[in-house]
Amino acid sequence: MIDILYNESNKNLTVCSDGVELTSDFLVNKWVNLINPDDREVEKIAALTGIEEDTLKAALDEEERARIDKEDDCVTILLDVPIIEEDPENDYYTYGTIPLGIIHKDNYLVTVCLKENSIINDFKYGRVKNVETQKSTRLTFQLLYAVSTKYLYYLRLINKASQRVQSTLEKNMSNDAILEMLDLQKSLVYFSTSISANDAVIEKLNKQSYLKKYEEDQDVIEDASIENKQAAEMCSIYREIMNGTMEAYGTIISNNLNGIMKVLAALTLVLSVPTLIASLFGMNLGGIPGEHSVWGFGVVCAVSFILAVISGIFLYKKKMF
């Protein structure tokens, strides 16, 4: 999918209609946004902008790392952006990251992403103010800032989901709740890695002259750096809390299992006493009290019961029950 975004006379960001013919001159000072483009769309944008096809396809690899590449007059910025993933097998959301490519060449600005995401949609539907496509450097820094703030937002959602799952686990140690907690923990690992990689990219853009910056642009990228560092700190705190929580629940489960095993062992000892006595007197060796009396069986049962009770009291005092 190809979206062409530009500013109207009132400076509102607008998406070009599908019927517009795309030319090299038409794309100047406009924002070209590619979402999971096919080969035909990549070839078309590459021919119009002069950007290499491999450069446009770099962000379509889910394993691509965040980095900055500069070749001649083409600057490629790859970031990891957060996304919400829906799992049809579960009734809860998981979180992950995918690459977002921001490519500058001459007066062209192209973004490429494998999936539609909320960050681009915030710009596309006017939820981000003061966006001007002809100021491509500032727009790039605004995208960096939006990515950092989106991490903060999703981290808060993860924290709320974690608190909800913890409340569930306090009432019932269900496997579904534990699996959801593990998925949240995995999401934090992805976030932590991606935020660290993005921080390196932001620092390079802030310190080196990959893109021409004005004073207002410098303020935006510094804000993006601050937000990204705050996201990294929050992610680290939430990871430590969640790791401690999972270890605590693992200890609780282990203690509960040990308690059950202790009770079962005590019951086995108590029941083994009458079993032993019945086995001894069940042998055809004679000597059963009241062997020729109707009370013989009752005497054996009474002795077994008394010894079992004594064993139970002894084990109870040893806190086996």
Q: What is the pLDDT of residue 321?
A: 66
- Residue 283, number of CB atoms within 10 A of its CB: 9
> What digits encode the pLDDT tens for the residues 148-169?
999 999 999 999 988 888 888 8
Give the span between the Cα atoms of 222 and 246, in whole angstroms.
36
Tell me the one-letter amino acid at 176.
Answer: D
Enumerate the CATH 3.30.460.20 domain ranges in the chain, comma separated. Answer: 2-254
Q: Which residue has the tokens 């690459």?
A: 99
Beta bridge partners of 6: 14
Cβ-based neighbours of 274, under 8 Å, separated by 6 or more: 301, 304, 305, 307, 308
Question: What are the CA-CA distances from residue 8 to residues 12, 33, 130 (Å)?
Answer: 6, 17, 12
Q: What is the pLDDT of residue 292?
A: 56
Q: Give the neighbor-by-neighbor strand order of the sheet with 13-15.
A: 13-15, 2-7, 31-35, 108-113, 93-105, 74-86, 67-71
For the domain made up of 2-254, the CATH class stated in words is alpha beta
Q: What is the pLDDT of residue 261?
A: 84
Q: What is the pLDDT of residue 294?
A: 62
What single DSSP character describes residue 95? E
Cβ-based neighbours of 57, under 8 Å, separated by 6 or more: 42, 112
Tell me the one-letter amino acid at 236.
Answer: S
CB contact at 8 A, 97 and 83: yes
Q: What is the pLDDT of residue 188?
A: 92
Give the span between the Cα atoms of 204 and 68, in whole angstroms.
8
> What digits encode the pLDDT tens for the residues 79-126?
999 998 877 677 788 899 999 999 998 888 999 999 888 998 888 888
Residue 141: phi and psi, rounded to 5, are -65, -35
Beta bridge partners of 236: none
Q: Where are the beta strands (DSSP E) in the chain?
A: 2-7, 13-15, 31-35, 67-71, 74-86, 93-105, 108-113
Q: What is the pLDDT of residue 286?
A: 55
Q: What is the pLDDT of residue 151?
A: 94
Q: What is the pLDDT of residue 313?
A: 82
Q: What is the pLDDT of residue 206?
A: 85
Q: What is the pLDDT of residue 290?
A: 54
Q: Using CA atoms in the order 78, 55, 120, 86, what is the torsion angle rounded to 10 degrees?
A: -80
SS3 2: strand
Q: Look at residues 225, 9, 232, 202 and name the one whose alpha carbon lies nearest to residue 102.
A: 202
Question: In order along the chain (321 residues), what is the average pLDDT of each group of 10 residues?
Answer: 79 78 84 90 89 88 88 88 81 87 89 90 84 86 93 93 85 80 89 92 85 80 92 91 81 79 83 78 57 65 82 77 66
